[in-house]
Structure 1
Amino acid sequence: MEGRTAATTRRGETYAGLSRAQRAGERRARIVASAVQLFGTRDYEDVTVADVCTTARVSKRYFYEHFDDRADLLLKVNREQNEWLLRGVAAAVPAEPASLAEVFRPALHILVGMLKSNPESARVIYVNAPRMESRRRGVLREDAQFVAAVLRRAGGTPRDQVGYDRTLLALVAGLSEVIIDWIAQDMTGDQDDLAEHLTGIALALAATAVSL
């Protein structure tokens, strides 16, 4: 009896060398990859839970173990993709930049390069999820806080914190709109030119922010 119980437990917990938790994690990763592919190539309204499950090769039962519905999936995928992008941008900024240009130029060249190399992720971050207004506004505020944290590497404390925060919000909103326009044009044009244009916009607004 003990032998049969142990064997049953092993069969339930381990399959193909993976634990139950590992299998769940692997299924979630496939769902997320499927979502990036589908939301990155179609409009949000044209993607169903069934589409995601078919592409990910999982049943709806497993989908609902991780996500409440299609909107919840897109919100979580958007958050994860945005965090991936910000990690790459943060890594490009020197630990002790000597100027604002040393903050923004490498960061924005990396950002544009990452988006260009991952067009489906770019669409998920900047096109589909922003249609969900609450998420769009949340992302802008998160990104403004990220920029504030990066600017602290350059030193200085704003005298007018409210004005500073609002200027950084305007900065990330403006950059986002330029990037959205670029994505809408199928990312045509020289990416280095785009990065330099974004840098010019960022430097102009950041200079205003740090003078407050």
Structure 2
Amino acid sequence: MDERTAVGTRRGENYGGRTREERAADRRDRILASALQLFGTRDYEDVTVAEVCTGARVSKRYFYEHFVDREDLARALQKEQNEWLLAGVVAATPPSPRTVEEVMRPAVHQLLTMLRANPRRAQVIYINAPRMETRRRGVLREDAQFLAWMLRRVSPQTKDRIRYERLLLALVAGLSEVIIDWLSRGMTDDLDDLADHLTAYCQSVLAAA
């Protein structure tokens, strides 16, 4: 070990071949993984910071280096999972769609497929996140903006921007409520039928928009 490495180790900058930043990032990842397990299988109110720390194998001291409290953790986890979901939806849409249906049908089908295959993520995004009402409203607005971005390739620019944005917000809110109902009943409905129904709903709202 050279002198520089030795000094860094004594200062806590390197330990086990990893820097302080790398160790902190690892702890944060473990906290989020533990939170996904707990919030993804239990109600938000039933999960404690202590349980998250136990699952992550970190002390509360390290927890509070990354998150203000349990709600802050839940918001960060929901944001991470929603970004994962939207990235998958984008990947499923064709590169050069010609109609609204060519955008919405694969997007909706992929959305439902990903949720069914990942029930813990689905619980975090659609069941526990709505309990934090402020975050829920923010997510709906973000998803409406995301949908507007997806539709730019096939939808003409509207002159009444406010009307268009409000209808997109209503669209994603309606989608969310149907998906929450589907999740709450164990995702037992036929996925293809549900995708068809939601695609038709999207097309109807977008036609009005």
TM-score range, shorter chain: over 0.9
Shift of the alpha carbon at 1:134?
0.6
Distance 1:84 1:168 in 2: 21
* Map 1:27-176 → 2, pairs under 5 A: 27-176=27-176
1:198 aligns with 2:193: no
Give a deviation string over 1:66-125, Cα, whole Å, max 9, x none: 000000000111111111111111122223211111000110111111111111110111
The sequence identity of aligned pairs, in percent, is 62
CA distance in 1, matches of 2:158, 2:171: 16
List, as ranges, runs of 4+ consecutive aligned residues in structure 1 with deviation greater than 4 Å: none
Q: CA deviation at 1:10?
A: 2.6
Q: Find the aligned partners of 2:143 and 2:176 in 1 and give their Cα distance.
A: 10
Q: CA RMSD in A?
A: 1.4
Tell me, yes or no, if structure 1 residue 208 matches structure 2 residue 185.
Answer: no
User: 1: distance between equivalents of 2:207 and 2:95?
Assistant: 19
Question: Gapped runs of 5+ residues in structure 2?
Answer: none
Q: How does the TM-score come out when normalised to structure 1? A: 0.93
Equivalent residue pairs, number: 207
Amino acid at match of 1:121: R
Corresponding residue number in structure 1 for 2:6: 7
1:37-85, Cα deviation, whole Å (9 max, x unpaired): 1111111110000010011111111101100000000011111111111
| Structure 1 unmatched ranges of 5 or more | none
Q: Distance in 1 between matches of 2:21 and 2:196?
A: 45
Question: What do residues 111-166 of structure 1 show as CA deviations (whole Å, max 9, x unaligned)?
Answer: 11111111111011111111111111111100000000111011410121111111
